[in-house]
Structures are given as C-alpha cells and as structure tokens.
Chains A and B, each alone.
Chain A
Amino acid sequence: AQSVAQPEDQVNVAEGNPLTVKCTYSVSGNPYLFWYVQYPNRGLQFLLKYITGDNLVKGSYGFEAEFNKSQTSFHLKKPSALVSDSALYFCAVRDVGSARQLTFGSGTQLTVLP
C-alpha cells in the first residue's frame, strides 16, 4: 500500500524567510510525487510534480521540491516566503507500478507572518 506522511500540521515562517514543508512517502515501487495547495473554500491547485529525472523540481509561484530516494522524502521549499503563500499544502504519491489512485497526506497549514 502507498502512503504519505506530512509530519507537521502547522508551519509558521516570517515573510522573506525561506520555507520548507516536509513530506515523506512509502510505495512498493517507484513513486510519482505531487504537491498541491488549497486556499480557504477552494479546490486543490497543482504546484509541481516529480516523475523522473532531475531530483530538484521547479513549480508554480516560485516553489520547488527536492526528491530524495534514500530518505523517501519530497520536501517543498521556497527561498523567500510571501504572506500570500499562507494556505494548506498537500503532498501526494502514486505508485508507478501498481496504483492508479493518488494518495494524499494529511496536509500542512502554512502561515507566513508579515
């Protein structure tokens, strides 16, 4: 079975500082990994994905994520946080070999303080 863990329910960071939202995954085969963002009363918006290739993936709004196979992690990062980045962030995984469904983590609430 595939699973995703987001160990932090809440992350607070000051505006202008770098931010990291953590994600670890478990799959039996190779993973497809995704990050999504959800603003209040809205649907999830796709930020970025890792399928194969370069371990550092760049996405929308200046976000990037680093795939680390040995640590089974896919942490979301941004060099300089904005107040408008405050939202709920979800990591998701799909096992390339066996599962069609996308399994989501429990979400991390990011608050960027002015």
Chain B
Amino acid sequence: DSGVTQTPKHLITATGQRVTLRCSPRSGDLSVYWYQQSLDQGLQFLIQYYNGEERAKGNILERFSAQQFPDLHSELNLSSLELGDSALYFCASSVSEIGELFFGEGSRLTVL
C-alpha cells in the first residue's frame, strides 16, 4: 500500500459527460501529480501541484482541469468526454519536488 488513495476505482460513463477523479496523497506529501496511462500513449504526465499551486503542466487537454485543495487532496476534472479519454488515471505524490513518486492504484475510466 503506497498510502495514496484514489477514488473511484472504476468509472463508466458516456461521451459528452463530465467526471471528477479524486486523490488523497500520502500523509506529509506536498506534491501531487496526475498521469494518464493508455495502451497507445503509454504513461503521460498531465499536471503537477505543490502545496496548492500548479507547478508543471504536461499533455493535459483543455477539456481537463485539476486543482489541489488546502488539505492537499487533489481532483482531476474531465469534461466533454470522448471515447479516446478511456484510460487509467493515476495520481502520485511525493514529499518534495525531486524525490520519488508514490502512486495510487488508479481510476479506470471507460467512456462508451
């Protein structure tokens, strides 16, 4: 158990809908990262927060947004969903911006 909690574990929804994925980092970790894993794209970095502030942005679509709250949990919002958004979404946390990441078990999103 990494200590990073992600909910929901599985989510099935329809095209055009909006979903929110939630992540609670390990106790004491200030950095939260979101990654998307799909068969054809591999593991893609989406966005990083450190203590509530956005610190780095990767290949995140404009339809996607995220935030980190004062209690350090984070949410990834995915809107106007398309079939191609079906993937595993991972949250990870680290105590600093240079240390190793600890990953949650992921949220598997299926868009029908």
Contacts and interface: CB of A to CB of B under 8 A. Distances in A.
Given A96-B98, A101-B33, A102-B33, A43 B43 contact: no
A44 B48 contact: no
Contacts of B35: 104
Given A43-B90, A43-B103, A45-B103, A104 B43 contact: yes
Interface in A85-106: 90, 94, 96, 99-106
B103 A100 contact: no
A94 B98 contact: yes
Interface in B42-83: 42-43, 45, 48, 50, 55-56, 58
Interface string A20-64: 000000000000101010000011111001010000000000000
Contact of A106 (B42, B92, B105): B42
Contacts, number: 51
A49 B105 contact: no
Given A36-B103, A43-B106, 19 more contacts: A42-B106, A43-B103, A43-B104, A43-B105, A44-B90, A44-B101, A44-B103, A46-B100, A49-B100, A51-B98, A100-B50, A100-B56, A101-B48, A101-B56, A103-B45, A104-B43, A104-B45, A105-B42, A107-B43
B56 A46 contact: no
A46 B92 CA distance: 11
Interface of A: 32, 34, 36, 42-46, 49, 51, 90, 94, 96, 99-107
A103 to B, nearest CB: 7
A105 B48 CA distance: 18
A102 B90 contact: no
B45 A101 contact: yes
B33 to A, nearest CB: 7
B2 to A, nearest CB: 6
Nearest to A48: B100
